[in-house]
Structure 1
């Protein structure tokens, strides 16, 4: 029996823009997603935009009961910046009432809310001023954060600032998957620095309020780099990849300093961002209380022998490679490598002073899941159960080795909208029927999760 610590947080995660819907009602202003869908709907899978998504805005009370039914004792979601502060300055009373009732409903049913502030939903009014490229975004976000802490601090004990900041940086400024969908390494670094400083100033505002028993953290996507060989050039590629993609935010938010090696790499490639006097002290004085780690896949790297200098893309600094023994989730094109979760646990223990952390996302996206339904209509998602069990075996190994992990959150509770991909891949414990008012039906994985939470563990001999 693989068992977990007492009071372990078993739950799931989603975000406001991916689950709430109601994107243009009750005072909410537009995010970049609302406007981008309006401007270029053909870029979105099957014409699926952010208007309705999974409709948790109207179904949250019933959804909380569904969470309770599968044994969840915690739930991570986000606040919509454009719903709470439609113009960036004035509170929307309908938003305050909605979120307060939402959070109270969770707590009344024994489900601890973990509330995030930004999950890729940049306000359009701020995007028109340059978004994360503009230093104005730092103080604007800090004000939003302070407003949220004041409005809901009596209900929320666990706060996070950003979900996967590297994703909105890369997808917006290098990969073309988020607005403004441009390719500019220099702008990506500057946007990343402003995101970091927005986080730091939000933490500073949180500390000033001294909310009793409350803690604050950040949610980071972690894809540990594994070098193709022990050759010095491959190991250097791994070091560069880890510093750009992992240590850039982990070192600054946990240890309070920007890594020297990262500064050297950026300087050598003429990528250093513009900073402001006092930033370094702010970073040093505002570490987080805990970290959420989103893990889906590893990152296999090797030396890049013909990269441009100065680099115009991260791929000029290191190259990816295909591990011959890999297993794949073909629907996402992602390698399945549960062992990395143990490595993440050890990283947190050894490099980051064993700071409290939790798995804030882990899950398996699969397309056309309806084909796996049985005669009753329940989706038999054994592949998802196996995926989670394999990862939980490795997580439990890390906890036994002394890593301070306090929870595991699956992505996601109910199938949710996923940016340009819409509903192409499904991840939920509950299926969502878009043709029938977003009707929820529990999957086999939901029943498995209930047993997991009741036992605070599971039999896992077949995965050892």
Structure 2
């Protein structure tokens, strides 16, 4: 058996917009998802919007007992900015009461809350001003972060600023999956820069808050780039991909610098964002205590074919390719490559001063899981168990090699709503029956995870 370190965090991850529901209850205002669904419900799978999701707003006590039942000792979720500060200025006491009860219930049942501040849920009032496109957003986020630390810092000791910031940049400004569905590379870089500075200012507010035993980090989705060949062109494509997708946030968050190669790449392509003269100093002064790493799939790259200059898209920096030996999760269109998790562990050890980190998301989304239900009504999701086992094997190898990983969180605990995909793909240890009052039913993977936790390994 592969045994993990003592006090290893075993748990799951989720977010407020994907689980809470109660979209307009308790004083909450609209996020971009609430408003987008109102404007274009046909864009969403089966017209499933964020108003109910898995209804944690009303069911958190039930869910925490289920967490305890399978032995989870930690859980990462987020606060809804739109609930805590509905207009960006006024503290919503109903939200404070809800979150304090929620976090206290976790702690009382042996589940440590790890709380994230932003999980793609931009307030509509701020989106109307331009969202992350405008520098004003940095100050608004800093005030939100300060408010959260003041209200919950006595309960929550581990905080993160953003979940997968590259996603709302890519999906909102280089593709068509997040509002506002623009396609503008230079604007995407500016959005990314304001997001980075919002993170920096939130870290600054955290240091000022002086939370006893408090730690702050950021959650990044890491898809290591693997080149098609050892040719100089393909190796350069890998370097560009890693700089744009990984080092753009990881370097400033951990090392306190924006990589020179990234700055040079953007400058040569007329993509540099507008900055303030004091930003570099603030970035250097406000690094993180730990990093959460979300890993699902690798990135296979080769040299760009007929790149435009200046670049109009990331495809002008590198192209993807299909690795002939790949295994696929066809439901998500994602390659299954557990070996990358070892490479991530070594990256953290060797490039980032062996900073403490944890696997903040890893999981397998599958559609129509009811096909695998047995006579007793349990979903036999052996494919998910196999997926986790393979990834834990690589993670254990990385820990044995000296990488400071302190936990593993699955995406997710109960099946959740997933943006435009709605409930198409399921990820949870518990099935949520959205046709039957969101009833929770334990899957085989949940029972297996309970044994894994009891043994602290597999």
TM-score interval for Structure 1 and Structure 2 normalised by the shorter chain: over 0.9
Shift in Å at residue 343 of structure 1?
Answer: 0.1
| Map of 2:232 onto structure 1 | 232
| Residue pairs, 1:26-425, within 5 angstroms | 26-425=26-425
TM-score scaled by length of structure 2: 1.00
SS of the aligned residue for 2:386 comes to helix
| 1:332-361 C-alpha deviation (Å, 9 max, x unpaired) | 000000000000000000000000000000
Shift of 1:147: 0.1
CA distance in 1, matches of 2:209, 2:23: 31
Distance (whole Å) between structure 1 residues aligned to residue 89 and residue 427 of structure 2? 35
User: Equivalents in 1 of 2:243, 2:181: separation in Å?
Assistant: 24
- Rounded to whole Å, the distance in 2 between the matches of 1:260 and 1:317 is 16
1:15 aligns with 2:45: no
The residue aligned with 1:433 is 433
- C-alpha displacement at 1:71, in angstroms? 1.1
CA deviation profile, 1:203-242 (whole Å, cap 9, x unmatched): 0010011111000000000000000000000000000000
How many residues of Structure 1 are paired with residues of Structure 2 in the alignment? 458
Give the Cα–Cα distance (whole angstroms) in 2 for the partners of residues 291 and 384 of structure 1: 25
Q: 2:360 and 2:175 mapped to 1: Cα distance?
A: 24
CA distance in 2 between counterparts of 1:84 and 1:197 reads 21
Q: Give 1:26 deviation, angstroms.
A: 1.2
Give the CA deviation at 1:290: 0.1
Provide the C-alpha distance between the structure 1 equivalents of 2:175 and 2:349, rounded to a whole number of angstroms. 32
Which structure 1 residue ranges, 5 or more long, are not aligned? 459-464
Structure 1 residue 15, shift from structure 2 partner: 0.1
After superposition, give the CA deviation of every residue in 1:251-306 in whole Å (9 maximum; x if it has no partner): 01000000000001000110000001210000000000000000000000000130
> How far apart are the structure 1 equivalents of 2:408 and 2:216?
17
SS in structure 2 opposite 1:2? coil
CA distance in structure 1 between the partners assigned to 2:240 and 2:109 by the alignment: 45
Secondary structure of the structure 1 residue equivalent to 2:311: coil
Distance in structure 2 (CA, Å) of the matches to 1:166 and 1:305: 24
Q: What do residues 354-408 of structure 1 show as CA deviations (whole Å, max 9, x unaligned)? A: 0000000000000000010000110000000000000000000000000000000
SS at match of 1:27: coil
Distance 2:366 2:69 in 1: 23
Q: For 2:174, what is the secondary structure of its paired residue?
A: helix
**Residue deviations 1:107-148 (CA, integer Å, cap 9, x gap):** 000000000000000000000000000000001000000000
| SS of residue paired to 2:291 | strand
Following the alignment from structure 1 to structure 2, what is the Cα–Cα distance between the partners of residues 437 and 196?
A: 40
- The alignment yields a C-alpha RMSD, in angstroms, of 0.4
